[in-house]
Amino acid sequence: MMKRNTEQDLDTDSRVERLAAHLEGEYGEYDPEMAKFLHGVITEVLQDYQEFKRKQLQKRNPDSAR
């Protein structure tokens, strides 16, 4: 399990809570702003994951210049 203690983790947690509250209160109602918000969250998570994988690769192979 990954260690979670950064401000970014807390920010992600708050966005996940916002998403959960939205789905709980308005499930089925289309909200263009929520769609944009969700797209942003997903994009950031994918970028974070790519960065994590890049760092893991560098740890395993320090000579790798990616």
Distant-in-sequence, close-in-space partners of 64: CB < 8 Å, separation ≥ 6: 57, 58
Question: Which token pair is 9?
Answer: 């983790």
pLDDT category at 53 given cuts 50, 70, 90 is very high
Report the pLDDT value the prediction gives residue 48, as an integer from 0 to 100: 92
Q: Does 65 or 59 have the greater pLDDT score? A: 59
Among 38, 64, 66, 34, CA closest to 50: 66
The pTM for the full model equals: 0.51
The tens digit of pLDDT for each residue in 1-35 reads 344 557 766 777 777 777 777 776 766 666 777 77
Q: Residue 56's pLDDT band (boundaries 50, 70, 90)? A: very high
Give the position of tokens 């702003």: 33
Taking the domains of the chain in order of start, what are their residue ranges? Answer: 12-60
